[in-house]
Amino acid sequence: MDSVRKTYQEKVKPTPAQERQLEAVLWRCRTLYNTALEQRITLWKQRGVSITRYQQEAELKELRAEMPEYASIHSHVLQDVLARLEKTYQAFFRRMANGEKPGFPRFQGATRYHSFTYKEYGNGARLDNGCLVLSKIGRVAVRWSRPIEGTPKTVTISKEADGWYVSFSCADVPTEPLPETGHETGIDVGVKVFLITAEGKLVENPRHYRKAERELKKAQKRVSRRKKGSKRRKKAAELLAKKHQHVRRQRTDFHQKTALMLVRQYDTIYHEAIQPANLSRRPAPKPDGNGGYLPNGAARKAGLNTSIQDAGWGHFLSILACKAVCAGKRVEAVNPAYTTQDCSSVLADGTICGERIYKTLSVRTHVCPHCGYLADRDENAARNIQWRGQRLRGVPALARVMNREPVVRRRVMPLENDSQLPWQASGFAGRQTTTVWCDMV
């Protein structure tokens, strides 16, 4: 039987004394993180030397001998702090190498450091009769919501807006395959809807964030109005954190339900390999030659960005991938180039039309002058994503695996904003290669 790695998170109920101890560990871990970061920076600046995680780890022994407060923390927890710093550095250099503009690893303030990890279950942290036993802290009560499966590997204690949590990362968790349905589909992120499938099925966007946005703004304002360092400000900040947590949870819930619905219905789901970070980048300013700037679509793109971030597409895709693995289904990413522009219609001979049709963001409908196919812009994209994924996987006859009848040729309907379609302007007749246009959605 196949198995996966899974993380189980449960709420813990420490006593007030234990809570103080947990806070102290968190505080010291954060201090260690910042000190280790400073050491790296100083050594590099003064001597041009880069120090590795293992060199820093070797110094832990000395630290523990000199500072008794660190001797009271399990050595694995401290090692994990240094491992996190190393990971941050590696991510920084990887993104540098990719030509991105990453921020340098930063010092962590009290509100930015939330957790510490025992890297080996049974060594410093273990379960005993439903209780979590932490070295030097003692038995902590756990509020179980479900039994954990597989073999626990690591234990992480984290502090969230509404209290403390424990996460067990478990290996060898058996999968629960869902029955095969014989259906495949492509999905595309919509601007007005959350996603659209190749059959034109829509999943509406609940827009939790928009609804909660006003409340969040209000809570945020309350925080900034209050005096820095005051008790009242701290209280307001806690309330704000709780509101953020609520929004996050609503969104995760929606994503999980949607992903489950998809893996129940389809054996393979194709999606675009998109990088939300790239989509969120601001369009370059367009100078008009007189010292001013021409419209560059930044405002429109900002609106688009909000809906992308709102939808949390990347978050959803990672949840979908997890759900698929657990259910014994497949999720595949395909190259997103021209999925919106190309015609996805299946012709009578079983081939794909593939006519490339220029569309700006405001054109919501795909109309093919070559084959007459008419579809929603995003549905057309979702179909292209499916065809592309199936071609990559070597599924031979596209028409045969289609989930619905091949498209009947439809009459080209006039569109509201059809002046933007190039063949209208150029007196289009017959097949031609139209303008190359970069995909934005």
Closer CB to Zn ion, residue 262 or residue 371? 371
Q: Which stretch binds Zn ion (CB under 5 A): 265-273, 328-336, 367-375, 378-386?
A: 367-375
In the complex, minimum distance from the CB of residue 355 to Zn ion, in angstroms, rounded to a whole number: 4
CB of 412 to Zn ion, least distance (A): 11
Written as six digits, the tokens of 269 are 């789901």
Binders of Zn ion in range 231-270 (CB under 5 A): none
The amino acid at 343:
C
Closest CB 363 distance from Zn ion, rounded Å: 15
What number of other Cβ atoms are within 10 A of residue 352's Cβ? 19
Whichever of 153 and 409 has its CB closer to Zn ion, that residue is: 409
Q: Is residue 421 at the binding interface for Zn ion, with CB under 5 A as the rule? A: no
Is the separation of the CB atoms in 363 and 340 below 8 Å?
A: no
Closest to 379 (Cα-Cα) out of 417, 418, 340:
340
Number of residues that bind Zn ion (CB under 5 A): 8
Of residues 76 and 370, the one with the C-beta less far from Zn ion? 370
- Among 4, 353, 398, 412, which residue sits at the site for Zn ion (rule: CB under 5 A)? 353
Beta-strand relationship, 163-174 and 286-287: unpaired
Judge whether 366 and 375 are in contact, CB under 8 Å.
yes
Residue 410 C-beta: closest distance to Zn ion, Å: 11
Considering the complex, state which of residue 74 and residue 370 has its C-beta at the smaller distance from Zn ion: 370
Q: How far is the CB of 53 from Zn ion (least distance, A)?
A: 55
Q: Within a 10 A sphere around the Cβ of 407, how many other Cβ atoms?
A: 19
Check binding of 371 to Zn ion (CB under 5 A).
yes
Q: What distances in angstroms separate CA 230 from CA 104, 217, 220, 398, one per listed residue?
A: 31, 20, 15, 65
DSSP secondary structure letters along 51-68: --HHHHHHTHHHHHHH-H
Minimum Å distance from CB 314 to Zn ion? 31
How many whole angstroms separate alpha carbon 377 and alpha carbon 361? 10
The residues near 140 (Cβ < 8 Å, ≥ 6 apart) are 12, 13, 14, 18, 131, 132, 133, 134, 166
Of 73, 368, 375, 421, the one binding Zn ion (CB under 5 A) is 368
Of 80 and 379, the one with the shorter C-beta distance to Zn ion is 379
Tell me which residues in 320-349 interact with Zn ion (CB under 5 A): 343, 345
Residue 370 found at the interface with Zn ion (CB under 5 A): yes
Closest CA to 82 of 146, 19, 31, 25: 31
Tell me, what DSSP letter sits at residue 179? Answer: P
Q: How far is the CB of 202 from Zn ion (least distance, A)?
A: 23
What is the spatial distance between Cα 391 and Cα 188, in angstroms, rounded to a whole number?
Answer: 17
Min dist CB 353 to Zn ion, Å, is 3
Binding residue for Zn ion, selected from 355, 375, 377, 381, defined by CB under 5 A: 355
Is position 373 an interface residue for Zn ion (rule: CB under 5 A)? yes
Confirm or reject binding of residue 366 to Zn ion (CB under 5 A): no
> Residues interacting with Zn ion, by CB under 5 A?
343, 345, 353, 355, 368, 370-371, 373
